[in-house]
Amino acid sequence: MRNDILRSCVSSRTGKTPDFSAAAKAFKAIVALFLFLVVLDQVPAQAKSTTASGTSTISRAPTVNARSAALIDATTGTLLFAKNPDISLPPASLTKLVTLHLAYEEIAAGRMSPDEIVEIDRRDCSPVIPYGSSIMYLHPGMKVSIRDLMLGAAVVSGNDAAYALARRIAGSNEAFAQRMSKAVQDMGFDKLVFVEPSGLSEFNLVSARQFALFCRKYLQLNPQALADLHSVKSIEFPRAEHTAPGFVPEGRIIQYNRNPLIFSYPGADGLKTGYIIEVGYNMAGTAQRDGTRFIVVTLGGTGSSYAGGGLQRTKDTTRLLDWAFENFITASLDPGTIPSPRAWFGKQRKVTLVPSTANAVTIPRTQADQLRLRIEVPKSVKAPVEKGDRIGRMIYSVGDKDVSIIDLMASADIEKGNIFRRIWDGISRFFANMFNKA
């Protein structure tokens, strides 16, 4: 009926009966193209990347055993792979990275020294620490340096070491846990919550995405941690000086790092493994090659035995790192001298600009030779200017597509000048506007 009416209307205007078969074919072609584009849009971001010359092939990301995972570029924070990245799961001994972060904060503030000697409290030793959990074998009355306790927490995942650090810093595990939660939430990580410093409790909770970003922040704030703690393959503990009432060390005792990556994976230098029965096998791993560093966090790995689960956890992490290094690169171009806008009516004449984040971008390796950088900065601004004000931007592009924008911020406050400066600048700006030079 509808076609008859349409045919009648068209015929009355043209005097001819139109051929609807061609129109039907065109309509079907349009529908097919629309469906194709819809399907294409559902392809995971890591499986496709558009370049100026067409599509750049990125190999399919590996399948991982873990319930949750996140892979980021450590320099830019770009998320490259995600599997259920925002579900909350217990971090197990990954918790100790936050404990170590707070220890570094105390040292940086001058409230604690790596050489400080701590007398070990019986509440931070076995049998208070659950049987079968990771310990560095502290004994009541031992006198141990902060440096040794930090190594014990990082290298052999000593729950006793984490307890001892927490007691020294905050007086108790409970008070220390409150500081842990506040520290990470002040960084913007609302999905990270802690009730104790070791990771033994299933009530510590993190998400893979936010914990990967925390690891990035941890390395930015404490870059020495990789060499001082996380890439250390073994420690000797206890040593002769650690004699305590009822305990004398016998012979030389070597304890090895629980992270297998640092022994076998090229470029790996951290960070931490974890396991409790309530979540399974966790890992925070990082590696760097040729200036590109990636961070992987996997949570909730499974396995029929501790050895099997640990092996699968390592496979997940190495496969993700392999895939990242194969397909992506952290790139940076020299911006040269960044323009300094004129500061009208200010005490200072120019505004010095600095990038808000690292001058870098994460791109597919195949696009590295197509990367371009341009800078957009206004000729002038009006005082007052506050430090951190966003005034310009650096834009990375590949072909005709912008792929990353980095804000340019004022590096310092610029107050208004005195009345004479403001009058003079008012006159100067009037004539500058006349000649389009403001």
- CATH code where residue 430 lies: 2.60.410.10
Distance CA 271, CA 430 (A): 59
Mean pLDDT across the stretch 255-281? 96
Distance CA 262, CA 347 (A): 53
What is the band of 407 on the pLDDT scale with cuts at 50, 70, 90?
very high
Distance CA 150, CA 230 (A): 10
Mean pLDDT across the stretch 183-206? 97
Question: Within 13 Å, how many C-alpha atoms sit on residue 174's CB side?
Answer: 0
- 177 and 204 co-located in one domain: yes
- 222 and 202 co-located in one domain: yes
User: Does 399 have pLDDT greater than 80?
Assistant: yes
- 283 and 406 co-located in one domain: no
Q: What sections of 15-120 are H helices per DSSP? A: 20-41, 96-108
- 120 and 267 co-located in one domain: yes
- CATH code where residue 170 lies: 3.40.710.10
User: Does 37 have pLDDT greater than 60?
Assistant: no
Distances (CA, A) of 432 to 346, 347, 348: 16, 19, 18
Distance CA 215, CA 285 (A): 9
Residue 429, pLDDT score: 77
- 225 and 276 co-located in one domain: yes
Q: Please report the DSSP string for 306-368 in residue order.
A: HHHHHHHHHHHHHHHHHHHHHHEEEE-----SPP--EEETBSSSB--EEESS-S-EEEEGGGG
Mean pLDDT across the stretch 330-350? 93
% of residues, the chain, pLDDT over 70: 85
Q: What are phi and psi of 49, to 5 degrees?
A: -155, 125
305 occurs within a structural domain: yes
Q: For the segment 224-241, what is each residue's pLDDT rounded down to a tens digit? A: 999 999 999 999 999 999
- 400 and 257 co-located in one domain: no
- 132 and 268 co-located in one domain: yes
What is the band of 113 on the pLDDT scale with cuts at 50, 70, 90?
very high
Residue 169, pLDDT score: 98
DSSP code of 63?
A: P
Q: For the segment 247-264, what is each residue's pLDDT rounded down to a tens digit? A: 999 889 999 999 999 999
Mean pLDDT across the stretch 38-45? 32
What is the band of 310 on the pLDDT scale with cuts at 50, 70, 90?
confident
% of residues, the chain, pLDDT over 90: 75
157 occurs within a structural domain: yes
What is the residue range of 6's domain? 2-42
- 241 and 284 co-located in one domain: yes
Give the pTM.
Answer: 0.83
Mean pLDDT across the stretch 91-110? 98
- 36 and 138 co-located in one domain: no
Mean pLDDT across the stretch 324-352? 94
Residue 168, pLDDT score: 98
62 occurs within a structural domain: no
Tally of domains within the chain: 3
- 12 and 77 co-located in one domain: no
- 276 and 164 co-located in one domain: yes
Mean pLDDT across the stretch 85-92? 98
